[in-house]
Amino acid sequence: MQHAAATEIKQGAAKPRSSSELKRRLWRNKWLYVMILPGILYFIAFKYVPMFGLTIAFQDYKPHWGFAGSEWVGLKHFERLFTEPDFMKILTNTLLLFGMNLLFYFPIPILLALMLNEVRITFFKRFFQTLVYLPHFMSWVIIVSIGFVMLTMDGGIINEMLAYLGFEKINFLLSTEWFRPTYIIQVIWREAGWGTIIYLAAIASVDPQLYEAARMDGAGRLRQVWHITLPAIRSVIIILLILKIGDVLELGFEHVYLLLNSMNRDVAEIIDTYVYTAALQQGQFSYSTAIGFFKSFIGLVLVVLANKLAKRMGEEGVY
C-alpha cells in the first residue's frame, strides 16, 4: 500500500513538471509555430472545411434548397457514374496519361539531378539549374500558347522545319495520335526542373567522404552514382513516388483543358475536364461531386497501399 501511494505521489508530481516543460518548449519554439500557422489555416480552410460539401454526392442537390433541404438519394449518382457509357473511356484516358507521367516524367528529375551534380564548374551548374526550373514559374496558359506557336500548321516552327526538310506538315494540335506526346513533353518541360531541386538537395546531404573512399578504391563516376548517390536518395525517391501514385486520377484540369478540342476529345477527355463540364457547364453538382469523391477515394487507397508496400521493402514511407 505504501509503495502504491508513493508511486501515485511521484506520478502526480511528474505531471506539473511535464506540463511546464511542454509550455517552455512551446514558448521556446513559438516563432516556428507562427511560421507554420498560415499553412495550417490554408489546409483547414481549403482542404478540411470543404469536405462537408461531399454530402451533396448523396443528395439531389439544388442550390436554392441548400444542404438541409435537398433530397437524399443515396448511391444514385455513383451508380450513374459506373453505368455511364463514356466512363470507361474517360477513366482509360486518365490512367494512360498518368502512366505516361510515371514512365516518362518521373525519372527525368532524378536524371537531371544526377547530371547536374556531376558538373564541377559552379557557374554552368547554377546557370543550367536556373534554366531548367524557370518554366515552372510560367502558367499553363503560357506553356500551351508557346506550344501552339511552335506546333500550328500556319507558320509553326516545327511544321516549317518539316516542310523545309521535305516532309509533310503534321496537324499536332488536332491529331488524336499526337495529343499524348504533346501533353507529356509539355509536362516534362515545365515540371522536371522543379523536381530536380528536391533531388539535388538530397544529394547535397551525402557525406563527401563516401565519394573519397570510393575513388580510393578505384570506383569511377558511374559506380559512385550507382553505389553511393542513388542509395542515398532512395528514400526521397520512394516518398515522391508514393505521393505521385496518390495523384493517379489528378492530372490537373488547366493543362488538359487548354489542349482539349472537338477533334481530340476522344483521347483528351479526362476525369477533371469531365467534372468541369458536368458541374459548371451543365449544373450537375451532385453528380460531379460524386465523381470527385470517387477520384479522391482511389487516390487515398493507392497511397495507403503504396506506403504499406514501401514499409515492407524496408523504406520509411510517408507516415
Select from 264, 83, 269 the least CA-distant residue to 171: 264
pLDDT of residue 17: 55
The single-letter code of the amino acid at 31 is: W
Closest CA to 261 of 102, 150, 144: 144
pLDDT digits over 190-218, tens only?
999 888 989 998 998 888 888 888 888 88
| Between 210 and 252, residue with greater pLDDT | 210
- Mean pLDDT, to the nearest integer, of 213-238? 88
pLDDT at residue 41 is higher than 90:
yes
User: Rounded mean pLDDT of 116-124?
Assistant: 85
- Mean pLDDT confidence for 165-171: 90
Residues 52, 60: Cα–Cα separation, whole Å: 15
pLDDT(284) > 80? yes
CATH 1.10.3720.10 domain locations along the chain: 85-312
pLDDT exceeds cutoff 80 at 9 = no
Check whether 262 has a pLDDT greater than 70. Answer: yes
**Mean of the pLDDT values across residues 106-113?**
93
Task: Identify the CATH class of 85-312.
Answer: mainly alpha
Report, as an integer, the average pLDDT of 256-269. 91
pTM of the entire structure?
A: 0.82
* For the chain, percent of residues with pLDDT exceeding 90: 29
The predicted model gives 252-268 an average pLDDT of: 90
What is the share, in percent, of the chain residues with pLDDT greater than 70?
A: 94
What are phi and psi for residue 206, nearest 5 degrees? Answer: -70, 135
For cell 509550455, what's the residue?
A: 23
For 293, the grid coordinates are 469523391
Mean of the per-residue pLDDT values for the chain? 86
pLDDT at 24 over 90: no
Give the mean pLDDT of 98-105.
92
- Written as nine digits, the cell of 12 is 502526480
